[in-house]
Structure 1
Amino acid sequence: MPMNIRYGAGPEDIQRYDTQQLRDAFLIDGQFTPGAIRFTYTHVDRMIVGGAVPLAQPLAFGSGEDVGTELFFTAREMGIANLGGAGWIEVDGNRFALANRDVLYVGRGTQSVMLGSDDEAGPARFYMNSVPAGADLPTRLIRKDEARVLNLGEETRANVRRLAMYIHPEVSPSCLLLMGITDLAPGSVWNTMPPHLHERRMEAYCYFDLSAEDRVMHFMGRPDNTRHLVVANGDVVLSPAWSIHMGAGTGPYAFVWGMTGENQAYTDVDPVAIAELR
């Protein structure tokens, strides 16, 4: 299946971008189309992000023509998070049942993946992050209650949140992929505070569980030259290593974060003081 391509941009480039150019470079919409799989390939660390909403018929992929290899997973690994109703994923004939907020790690060397929903009326919504991999690790289902949870933030700063690590060395090892889900507490709006950079890793955010009328204001750019993206339910933001990232919602929301780069050290970040932002 053909992939959308995003080539990325540098901090000097976005100084002259208008709103549409910024969105074309860093925001992916339309990932969750009923009855279809959508993939986007970004040249930012060669991550692939995808969305799939299987209905009555399962959806499948596995060939590698769009990534230049025999199979999709010849030199790749993947995390798949279910953000919708109950569903299942079949990896080389082995079936895994996924409830809402369960995540499946799919290892390098996989031949084929099939995605299905238990109920067409309340279908699964599968969100995917795939990155190049140099090691073979077994496919593994990580259920919501198996994730490593960090409770972060302060109520007085409106950033109380529950961060759940799924694909992480302390939970389910991978070669280079990190993946988790963050839920904000009622009344909190900020998804991280203070903002930060991690020069050794890029990140992708999939914002979900927003109502139709709500949006997240996602801030990006260099600390002294910030920009913003207005993000709707199901939209994905690509965050290069040179960019800050933080966001505030007009209503309740959650997000999946996926990272890849030089290391898997979640704390390898450079905080940026709010007073330094411009």
Structure 2
Amino acid sequence: MTMKVLYGAGPEDIKSYDTERLRSEFLITGLFAADIVNFTYTHVDRLIVGGAMPVTEPLSFGSGIDIGTPYLLSAREMGIANLGGTGTVNVDGKLFTLQNRDVLYVGRGAREISVASVAADAPARFYMNSVPAGADFPHRLITRAESKPLDLGEARRSNKRRLAMYIHPEVAPSCLLLMGITDLAEGSVWNTMPPHLHERRMEAYCYFDMAGEDRVVHLMGRPEETRHILVADGDVVLSPAWSIHMGAGTGPYAFVWGMTGENQEYNDVAPVALADLK
């Protein structure tokens, strides 16, 4: 048997992209605006990225009018990570309280979701990833303490970091969504090092806990012809399966990673030698 791979926005396309076009196709900004729910739908594995920062009142969503289904999650699952102050998520009448770096898995079939902050002067920042799902899994809150940590990298190479798995078969199962949070050790600047490709999954990075003046230089593209995007706090970069994804920051930062595709094998990757990057 053979399997031909066809790309939507393929690696050949970005050869002619200037900075503005590259950012418009792969960077999502402005997700966390006060008292607004913002979603972006991408045809890269039909991922939906969302952000909500309730300050003065709860924010509700759940309609599927924009995607042609009765409800947003009629045929989808969702992960909601809290990147701010303590907040609550109400899913069809069931209330969950999320502290900073807690993640809520919302299974297929949820109808009405409402998010709120406990304190207006320390609002929650809810970051969402939603992907198509073909199976039902129960809603589940995964606290920071319940995540599975992996210590990676080396201080001498400035890439020491702790990766925490949340929505993952070893922690909280889902249909196709994987989601976690990576924190860099003090003095380290590089993430996802060494770089790699995972042909069978796409990934989205949401960078956070960054000072206003800092940026992450996010590298993407084919290994032999890389491109870069400058990323600020709260920005999201989409990484198609054909692209590397790695970055270095000018100051401390963390990021949420979300993946979907053909499998949930976290180590199903093709490493790329640093010497092969161009």
TM-score by structure 1 length? 0.97
SS of corresponding position for 1:266:
coil
In structure 2, the partner of 1:90 is: 90
How far apart in 1 are the matches of 2:43 and 2:164? 27
Q: CA deviation at 1:9?
A: 1.8
TM-score (ref. length: structure 2): 0.97
Residue type of the alignment partner of 1:256: V
Displacement of 1:29 after TM fit?
Answer: 0.4
Number of the residue aligned with 1:4: none
Taking the aligned partners of 2:70 and 2:37, their CA distance within structure 1 comes to: 20
1:122-151 per-residue CA deviation (whole Å, 9 max, x = no partner) reads 100000000000001100000000000000
In 1: Cα distance, 2:159 partner to 2:170 partner: 25
CA distance in 2: counterparts of 1:28 and 1:276, whole angstroms: 29
- Return the letter of the residue paired with 1:94: K
Contact 1:89 1:116 in 2 (8 A): yes
Q: Secondary structure at the match of 2:206?
A: strand
- 1:102 and 1:143 in contact (8 A); partners too: yes
Q: Which residue of 2 aligns with 1:217?
A: 217
Give the residue type in structure 1 aligned to 2:43. Answer: H
Q: What residue in structure 1 maps to residue 273 of structure 2?
A: 273
SS in 2 for 1:11: coil
The corresponding residue for 2:63 is 63
Q: Which runs of 4+ in 1 moved over 3 A?
A: none
Deviations along 1:179-201, whole A, 9 cap, x unmatched?
A: 00000000000011110000000
Give the SS at the match of 1:72. coil
SS at match of 2:190: coil
Residue 8 of structure 1 and its aligned partner are, at CA, apart by 6.3
Q: 1:28 is matched with which residue?
A: 28
Encode CA deviations 1:37-80: one digit per residue, 9 max, x unaligned: 10000000000000000012100001111111011111000000
What is the number of residues matched between the two proteins? 272
Instruction: Give, as a single letter, the amino acid of the residue that structure 1 aligns with 2:196.
Output: H
Equivalent residue for 2:197?
197
- In structure 2, how many angstroms separate the alpha carbons of the residues matched to 1:119 and 1:8? 43
Measured on the aligned residues, the alpha-carbon RMSD in Å equals 0.9
Provide the rounded CA distance (Å) in 2 between the counterparts of 1:219 and 1:178: 21
Partner secondary structure for residue 191 of structure 2: coil
Deviation at 1:166, TM superposition (A): 0.1
**Counterpart AA for 2:91:** V
Cα distance in 2 for partners of 1:180, 1:125 equals: 16
Q: In 2, are the aligned partners of 1:89 and 1:114 still within 8 Å (CA)?
A: yes
TM-aligned CA deviation for residue 253 of structure 1: 0.1
C-alpha distance in 2 between matches for 1:172 and 1:66: 29
Instruction: Give the Å deviation of 1:176.
Output: 0.1
Identity value in percent: 71
Residue 235, structure 1, aligned to residue 240, structure 2: no
Contact 1:75 1:132 in 2 (8 A): yes
3-state SS, counterpart of residue 46 of structure 1:
coil
2:227 partner amino acid: R
Structure 2: how far apart are the matches of 1:177 and 1:192? 19
Deviations 1:54-108 (A, max 9, x none): 0121000011111110111110000000000000000000100000000000000
CA distance in 1, matches of 2:25, 2:122: 32
- Residue 128 of structure 1 aligns to which amino acid in structure 2? M
Residue matched to 1:138: 138
Q: What SS does the aligned partner of 1:194 have?
A: coil
Unpaired segments ≥5 residues, structure 1: 1-6
> Residues of 1 paired with 2:200 and 2:111: CA distance?
31
Q: How does 1:1-278 map to 2 (within 5 A)?
A: 9-278=9-278
- Alpha-carbon separation, structure 2, partners of 1:229 and 1:158: 20
What is the rounded CA distance, in whole Å, between the counterparts of 2:29 and 2:73 in structure 1? 24
